[in-house]
């Protein structure tokens, strides 16, 4: 591994009929890293992936993979593999035939195909399923077939476009762990598109959060969670999201500031001794804890977590407390105010 970035996107722009797709996308990706492109629907994350894959051509900018300018290169010349949301398996072919299909097209010798197939099946825990058709597999198994196909391609860069969105919650959790383990074991570079911040935060080394075709913040999951650059990042990253409080409700802040507060930093105070007096909006028992949603005229998203079963009546008054050291301060434009 060298000090040079393995993938470079420099000032990439893509528009359709004058309408924004993505704009000013600049990103450097280290070899062997796991990068998640995260954001709401329509933010440009899939467009960015398609540009990197060569499935779309940028209107402006440069794309470099492993030191080679591939801006105008065909997808087949970019030395990468892809895993799609839809699995993209041939229903009439067996698992083994689906996995080695690309190798057969490239006329890889049969002994080498068999060797790569066996290794990929072992890695993805599909040994014994070689002769089954996709229709005989669960959704998670089908996605693992798609992963096995990417593994036999032997490419150092793998692009994944929302590969877990068709799976149920339990299966998503299992396959998510499979993908992360595969990436680590194989040492490949993964660029992974998702709208699910839990996926991005649990899997990625670097999270690239996008909005309206632009990168809003890129950094480690810890940075986006603990040091959000904007109120958009604060509200998008975290479950539950960061609460935002109008500074008019608190002493010691400028009038036009917004104050951010994470749920884990909120405690219930004795009546009359808290920083804010709220009322219960809702409460949900989650098993190990109860999440209590609160209302305040100058705040959105206020919640407090209580251990075990601690349901509260809707409309019940509650005072909350928190420390100034746990507050995040944003200016009138929603940008983080750095401590001086």
319/321 Cα distance (integer angstroms)? 7
Query: How many other C-beta atoms can be found within 10 angstroms of the C-beta atom of residue 66?
Result: 18
148/125 Cα distance (integer angstroms)? 10
Average pLDDT, the chain: 91
- 226 in a domain, yes or no? yes
User: Which residue range forms the structural domain that includes residue 300?
Assistant: 240-330
Residues 168 and 40 in one domain: yes
- 336 in a domain, yes or no? no
147/158 Cα distance (integer angstroms)? 10
- 2 in a domain, yes or no? no
123-153 pLDDT per residue, tens: 888 899 999 999 999 888 888 898 888 888 8
Q: At 312, is the secondary structure helix, strand, or coil? A: coil
Residue 279 has pLDDT above 80, yes or no: yes
Q: Between these two residues, 176 and 39, which has the higher pLDDT value?
A: 39
329/245 Cα distance (integer angstroms)? 10
Residue 264 sits at φ, ψ, to 5 deg, of -65, -10
Pull the structure tokens for residue 57: 């051509």
Residues 200 and 288 in one domain: no
- 191 in a domain, yes or no? yes
The last residue of one of the domains, among 195, 216, 233, is: 233
pLDDT of residue 231: 97
- 110 in a domain, yes or no? yes
The last residue of one of the domains, among 171, 201, 233, is: 233
Residues 292 and 226 in one domain: no
Residues 175 and 55 in one domain: yes
pLDDT of residue 340: 43
Residues 303 and 229 in one domain: no
Residues 270 and 192 in one domain: no
pLDDT of residue 153: 85
Residue 251 sits at φ, ψ, to 5 deg, of -85, 150
Residues 152 and 194 in one domain: yes
Per-residue pLDDT band at 2 (split at 50, 70, 90): low
255/4 Cα distance (integer angstroms)? 46
Q: Percent of the chain at pLDDT above 90?
A: 69
- 78 in a domain, yes or no? yes
The last residue of one of the domains, among 233, 255, 282, is: 233
Q: Between these two residues, 173 and 308, which has the higher pLDDT value?
A: 308
Q: Between these two residues, 85 and 204, which has the higher pLDDT value?
A: 204
- 337 in a domain, yes or no? no
Query: How many other C-beta atoms can be found within 10 angstroms of the C-beta atom of residue 61?
Result: 18
Residues 20 and 42 in one domain: yes
pLDDT of residue 252: 84
Contact 163, 143 (CB under 8 A): yes
Q: Does a cis peptide bond (omega within 30 degrees of 0) precede residue 240?
A: yes
257-275 pLDDT per residue, tens: 999 999 999 999 999 899 9
Q: CATH number, domain at 63?
A: 3.40.50.300
Residues 293 and 224 in one domain: no
pLDDT of residue 20: 81
pLDDT of residue 154: 84
Residues 183 and 308 in one domain: no
Q: CATH number, domain at 320?
A: 2.40.50.140
Residue 1 has pLDDT above 60, yes or no: no
178: number of CA atoms within 13 Å, CB side?
A: 25
- 340 in a domain, yes or no? no
pLDDT of residue 339: 63
Residues 22 and 72 in one domain: yes
Residues 245 and 229 in one domain: no
Domains identified in the chain, total number: 2
229/226 Cα distance (integer angstroms)? 10
243: which DSSP letter? E
Per-residue pLDDT band at 230 (split at 50, 70, 90): very high
| Mean pLDDT score, 176-193 | 90
Residue 329 has pLDDT above 50, yes or no: yes
Please state whether beta strands 276-285 and 317-321 pair in parallel, antiparallel, or not at all (unpaired): antiparallel
21-30 pLDDT per residue, tens: 899 999 999 9
């Amino acid at each position: 591994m060298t000090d040079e970035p393995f993938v470079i996107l420099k000032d990439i722009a893509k528009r359709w009929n004058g309408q924004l797709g993505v704009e000013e996308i600049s990103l450097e990706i280290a070899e062997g890293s796991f990068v998640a492109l995260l954001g709401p629907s329509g933010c440009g994350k899939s467009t960015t992936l398609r540009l990197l894959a060569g499935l779309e051509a940028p209107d402006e900018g440069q794309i470099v993979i492993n030191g080679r300018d591939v801006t105008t290169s065909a997808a087949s010349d970019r030395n990468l593999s892809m895993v799609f949301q839809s699995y993209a398996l041939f229903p009439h072919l067996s698992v083994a035939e689906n996995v080695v299909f690309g190798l057969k097209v490239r006329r890889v010798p049969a002994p080498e195909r068999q060797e790569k197939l066996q290794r990929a099946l072992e890695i993805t825990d599909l040994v014994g399923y070689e002769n089954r058709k996709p229709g005989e597999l669960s959704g998670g198994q089908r996605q693992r077939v798609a992963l096995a196909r990417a593994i036999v391609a032997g490419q150092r860069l793998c692009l994944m476009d929302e590969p877990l969105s068709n799976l149920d919650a339990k299966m998503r959790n299992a396959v998510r762990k499979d993908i992360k383990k595969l990436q680590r074991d194989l040492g490949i570079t993964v660029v992974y598109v998702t709208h699910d911040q839990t996926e991005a935060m649990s899997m990625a080394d670097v999270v690239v959060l996008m909005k309206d075709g632009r990168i809003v913040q890129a950094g480690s999951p810890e940075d986006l969670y603990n040091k959000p650059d904007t109120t958009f990042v604060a509200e998008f990253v975290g479950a539950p999201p960061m609460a935002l409080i109008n500074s008019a409700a608190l002493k010691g802040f400028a009038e036009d500031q917004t104050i951010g507060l994470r749920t884990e930093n909120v405690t219930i105070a004795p009546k009359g001794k808290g920083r804010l007096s709220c009322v219960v909006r809702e409460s949900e028992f989650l098993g190990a804890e109860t999440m209590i949603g609160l209302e305040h005229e100058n705040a959105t998203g206020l919640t407090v977590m209580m251990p075990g079963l601690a349901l509260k009546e809707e409309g019940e008054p509650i005072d909350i407390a928190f420390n100034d050291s746990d507050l995040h301060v944003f200016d009138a434009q929603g940008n983080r105010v750095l401590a001086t």
